[in-house]
A = this chain, B = another copy of it.
Amino acid sequence: MSKIVSKSVKKTAKSAQECINMVIAQSGGPSMVINDSLCGALMAGRSARKAGKIGKILGAKHGVEGILKGDYIDLTELKDKAIKRLLATPSSALGSCRHKPDAKDCRKIFEEFRRLKVGFFFYIGGNDSADAARIVAEEAEKENYPLVVYHIPKTIDNDLRSCDHTPGYASAANFVIRALIGDDLDNRALGGVKIDVIMGRDAGFLTASSALARVRPDCGPHLIYLPEVPFSEEKFVKDVKAVLKKYNRCVVAVSEGIRGKDGVPIGAKLGTGEKDSHGNVQMSGSGALGDHLARVLKEKAAVKRVRADTFGYLQRSFPSLQTSQDMAEAAGVGFFAVNYALAAAAGVKGSIKKGTVGILRKKGKTYKVDYKALPIQDAAKETRAFPKEFIAKGGNDVTKAFVDYLKPLIDDLPEIEILL
C-alpha cells in the first residue's frame, strides 16, 4: 500500500465513538436461509439502535462490490411485514458477489466507511466470504480504521471449520432428501439407473444427506460418491452392476466435486474452465458430469435405461423448503454476530473484534446448540472435509454416525407408502 493513500485514510478516519453505523452484506452462493441471518442481524441492530449503540443499518448491494460502488439499501426502518416476508425468502436479498478484495479495494472501502461513519461490518457467507471479511478486518487494523468485523456463517456445503453445521445446509439437505425420496419412487416405477448430481465443490456433506431418503432398506440412493473418496470409473461400473443384480434398478447420488486419483474434479475437466476471483472452477449450472457418467454406464455396463439429473441451483434457492431449525439458527448467528460485535466495540474482556459466529452442538441426547464468538480465521479460507468416520468402508456410502449427525437438523419427512 502506498504511504500517500495510507496517510489520507488515516487522516480522515473517525474515532470509534463517531463510527456507529453498521454495514451488512451477503456474499458467495445464496442459500434458502441467508436472509434469516440478515433479519437476525437486523433485529439485534435495531435493539442496539434503541440503546444508542448503533446508528444506521445499511445493506450493501452485491457484497463488497456494493461498498466499492457506494451502492446501499437503508434497512434501518425496514417494516416488520417486510422482515416477516424476508424470513421466508430464499437467495441473497441484498445481492451477492464472488469478489476477493485486495488492499487497494480496502482503502476504497474505508474511505466509504469513513464517509458513512461505519464502525461495524457484517459479511454473511462461506469460507471465501470469511476470508474476504478477514482481509477487510486486517487492512482496517493496518490503517488504524476503527472497525469491528464479523463474518456470519452461511453455506449449503457445510464445510466451515467453525461450525458443527452451517446455516443453509439443513434446508438444502431437506431439498436433496425429498428429491431423492421422489426420485427413488420414480426409478422404482420405471427401472434402470438414475444418477443424481448434487452440489458440493469440495465437501460431500450435501450429497451425503441423500442417505436420509432411505425410507426402507431397498430404497435409493444405493450408492453415494463424495469428493473425499477418489473416484474410479471402473469401481463405479462394478458398484452399479452389483446393485442392479440385487434390486434390478439403481439410484446413484454423486457429488459435483468427485475427483480421480489426480485430485482434479472430473466435472471441472468436462466444464468450461470458468473461475471466480477466489480461484474456484465452475461446476454447477451444467449437466456435463451427469451426462458423462450416464454414457460410461451405457458403454461399459451395457445398461439400457440410464438417466441423469443435475439438481443445480434449485437445491439452494427453492422456496418453502427451509427447515425450522435452519431458519432459527440462521437468524441466531446474525443476531449473535451483532451482539458479539457490540461487546467488542465496548471493549468487553475476552471479546473478539475480528470474529465469526461458531455453532457448537451440545453433548447429550436432545439436540441443542450454543453460539460462540470465534476468531475470523477459524472460518476463513480452508474448509472442513467430510469426516472419515462418516464414510462407509467401501467408499461408496455413508455411515450410521453421519445419519445420526444429520437427523436432528431435518424436519419430519413426508410419510409415503411403497407397494412394490
List the interface of chain A (C-beta within 8 A of B). 26, 29-30, 32, 35, 59, 61-62, 73, 82-83, 85-86, 88-98, 178-179, 181-183, 185-186, 188-190, 194, 272, 274, 284-288, 290-291, 294, 298, 305-314, 316-320, 413-420
Q: Which of B93, B194, B290, B415 contacts A287 (CB 8 A)?
A: B290
Whether the Cβ atoms of A319 and B91 lie closer than 8 Å is no
Residue of A73, A82, A93, A194 most packed against chain B (CB within 10 A): A93
Q: Which residues of B sit under 8 angstroms from A186, Cβ to Cβ? A: 30, 90-91, 313, 316-317
10 nearest interchain CB pairs? Answer: A287-B287, A285-B307, A309-B312, A91-B185, A182-B317, A85-B417, A92-B189, A89-B416, A186-B317, A86-B417
Q: Which residues of B sit under 8 angstroms from A305, Cβ to Cβ? A: 274
Whether the Cβ atoms of B183 and A313 lie closer than 8 Å is yes
A416-B85 in contact given A90-B185, A96-B189, A285-B308 (Cβ < 8 Å): yes
Q: Count the copies.
A: 2
- When C-beta atoms are compared, the residue in chain B nearest to A310 turns out to be B287
Whether the Cβ atoms of A319 and B287 lie closer than 8 Å is no
Task: Tell me, rounded to whole Å, the shortest Cβ–Cβ distance linking A345 to chain B.
Answer: 26
Whether the Cβ atoms of B312 and A89 lie closer than 8 Å is no
Q: Which residues of B sit under 8 angstroms from A73, Cβ to Cβ? A: 419-420
Cα of A96 to Cα of B420 in the assembled complex, Å: 11
Whether the Cβ atoms of B318 and A178 lie closer than 8 Å is yes
Task: Tell me, rounded to whole Å, the shortest Cβ–Cβ distance linking A149 to chain B.
Answer: 22
Given contacts A85-B416, A183-B314, 6 further A-B contacts (CB under 8 A): A90-B182, A91-B182, A91-B186, A93-B418, A93-B419, A319-B413
Q: Which residues of B sit under 8 angstroms from A178, Cβ to Cβ? A: 318-320
Task: Tell me, rounded to whole Å, the shortest Cβ–Cβ distance linking A307 to chain B.
Answer: 3
